[in-house]
């Protein structure tokens, strides 16, 4: 059921029969859900009913969705409280619970998630955005944003910072992505007289995205509800300095003054100052930031994440088998046979735009 240009809602009475059919057809050894909404909730319920090993990963903060709730603030606070309670209840059925960063794990625990949480990066393909040099192809220092044009991304702050920074540096801004904020952002560019400095590229191909990363001078992510920010990881893998809001899990991707800068959420003047610092840096300074960004990206290689997740599947299967059998040797042998072959896996994922 469509409720928004980039968000969909699956209703339980339609989802559950489909999930049951998927279990019948695939007979999974382990189920990995990526949240707690209708599709994932049905998968959790069916895995529990059938005694199938369950791994759960949380990518969601209530702040990602509350801007789309047409309700007063007092009711949104109740919805936020209910969302955390619902996550705690459903994640309690998981054999293993993960999230992408230690900061997101802390936030989950602070909001009542009682199940032990393991930290596993989403991972990044280090080859996809790799390139040479720290300047890219742009003659003019260019700031890049990649992501949904949604309220919690605060893209307007980048535009306002550009309007301030151009008095000290010749800067341009490229924005990749679409969303409900696009008309407002375009109007803001007109109001601030920076339309000639801002390019809205919309949704792009993989190759066009790679080119955007490689030609930019710096990447900016002012969002305040990111549990990791794959776009920022992509910029790091492209060896670019990054400017990120000092909020939630973003700071773990930045060594302030080494591979970029942090700025306080909402501080347009501070963001503009950091833009000018990078735009006026020497080639030697930019090259040093490029190397530092790439080094941070390498800690998040997709190969490492895949190896870790596969080991969790085997652990979850082992734990579930032991609970069902009481640890008999026959079933232990069967478990070893399962582990020898890659287990059949259903990966239920909620639709979640980048």
Q: What is the DSSP string of 43-73?
A: HHHHHHHHT-EEEEE----GGGTGGG--S-H
Give residue 323's pLDDT: 58
43 shares a domain with 189: no
152 shares a domain with 119: no
Look at residues 238, 249, 255 and name the one whose alpha carbon lies nearest to residue 125.
238
Residue 35's DSSP bridge partners are: none
333 shares a domain with 280: no
Give residue 7's pLDDT: 57
Is 5 inside a domain boundary? no
Give residue 41's pLDDT: 94
Give me the sign of the Cα torsion angle 27, 29, 35, 37. Answer: positive
171 shares a domain with 210: yes
Strand (E) or helix (H) holding 12: helix 12-26
Q: Number of structural domains, the chain? A: 2
Q: Which tens digits make up the pLDDT trace of 252-274? A: 899 999 999 999 999 999 999 99
Q: Which residues neighbour 317 within 8 Å (Cβ) at sequence distance 6 or greater?
A: 29, 30, 53, 335, 338, 339, 343
Is 87 inside a domain boundary? yes
175 shares a domain with 37: no
Please, where are the H alpha helices in 230-282? 230-237, 268-279
CATH classification of the domain holding 49: 3.40.50.2000
Q: Does residue 26 contact residue 47 with C-beta atoms inside 8 Å?
A: no
Give the C-alpha separation, 333 to 347, whole Å. Answer: 26
Range of the domain at 283: 142-298
183 shares a domain with 88: no
Task: For residue 28, give the 3-state DSSP assignment.
Answer: coil
Angle, CA of 222, 70 and 228, to the nearest 5°: 30
291 shares a domain with 150: yes
305 shares a domain with 244: no
Q: pLDDT tens string for the chain (354 positions)? A: 444 555 567 788 889 999 999 999 999 999 999 999 899 999 999 999 999 999 999 988 887 778 778 889 999 999 999 999 999 999 999 999 999 988 889 889 999 999 999 999 989 999 998 865 444 556 899 999 999 998 889 999 999 999 999 999 999 999 999 999 999 999 999 999 999 999 999 999 999 999 999 999 999 999 887 778 899 999 999 999 999 999 877 888 999 999 999 999 999 999 999 999 999 999 999 999 999 999 999 999 999 999 999 999 999 998 865 555 554 444 444 444 444 444 444 444 444 444
199 shares a domain with 169: yes
Q: Does residue 197 contact residue 166 with C-beta atoms inside 8 Å?
A: yes
Strand (E) or helix (H) holding 86: helix 73-91
Is 77 inside a domain boundary? yes
117 shares a domain with 162: no
Is 3 inside a domain boundary? no
Give residue 13's pLDDT: 85
197 shares a domain with 59: no
Give residue 327's pLDDT: 46
Give the C-alpha separation, 276 to 182, whole Å. Answer: 25
Is 137 inside a domain boundary? no
Give residue 334's pLDDT: 45
24: number of Cβ within 10 Å: 10
Is 42 inside a domain boundary? yes
168 shares a domain with 272: yes
Is 273 inside a domain boundary? yes
Q: Which tens digits make up the pLDDT trace of 9-67? A: 778 888 999 999 999 999 999 999 999 989 999 999 999 999 999 999 998 888 777 87
- The DSSP secondary-structure symbol of 150 reads -
Give residue 346's pLDDT: 43
Is 117 inside a domain boundary? yes
């Amino acid at each position: 059921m469509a409720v928004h240009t980039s968000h969909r809602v699956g209703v339980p009475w339609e989802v559950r029969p489909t999930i049951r059919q998927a279990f019948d057809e695939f007979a999974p050894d382990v189920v990995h859900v990526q949240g707690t909404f209708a599709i994932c909730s049905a998968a959790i319920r069916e895995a529990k009913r059938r005694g199938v090993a369950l791994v759960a990963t949380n990518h969601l903060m209530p702040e990602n969705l509350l801007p789309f709730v047409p309700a007063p603030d007092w009711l949104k606070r109740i919805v936020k409280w209910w969302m955390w309670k619902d996550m705690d209840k459903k994640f309690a059925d998981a054999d293993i619970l993960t999230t992408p960063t230690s900061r997101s794990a802390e936030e989950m625990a602070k909001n009542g998630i009682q199940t032990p949480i393991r930290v596993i990066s989403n991972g990044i393909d280090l080859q996809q955005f790799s390139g040479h040099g720290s300047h890219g192809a742009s003659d003019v220092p260019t700031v890049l944003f990649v992501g949904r044009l949604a309220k919690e991304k605060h893209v307007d702050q980048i535009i306002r910072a550009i309007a301030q920074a151009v008095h000290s540096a010749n800067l341009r801004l490229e924005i990749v992505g679409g969303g409900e904020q696009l008309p407002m952002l375009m109007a803001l560019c007109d109001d601030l007289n920076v339309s000639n400095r801002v390019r809205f590229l919309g949704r792009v191909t993989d190759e066009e995205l790679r080119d955007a990363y490689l030609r930019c001078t710096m990447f900016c992510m002012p969002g305040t509800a990111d549990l990791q920010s794959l776009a920022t990881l992509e910029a790091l893998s492209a060896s670019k300095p990054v400017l990120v809001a000092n909020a939630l899990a973003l700071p773990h991707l930045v060594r302030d003054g080494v591979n970029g800068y942090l700025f306080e959420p909402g501080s347009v003047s501070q963001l503009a100052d950091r833009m000018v610092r990078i735009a006026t840096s020497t080639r030697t300074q930019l090259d040093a930031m490029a190397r530092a960004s790439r080094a941070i990206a390498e800690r998040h290689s997709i190969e490492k994440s895949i190896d870790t997740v596969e080991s969790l599947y085997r652990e979850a299967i082992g734990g579930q088998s032991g609970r069902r059998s009481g640890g008999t040797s026959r079933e232990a042998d069967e478990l070893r046979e399962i582990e020898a072959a890659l287990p059949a896996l259903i990966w239920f994922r909620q639709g979640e735009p980048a």
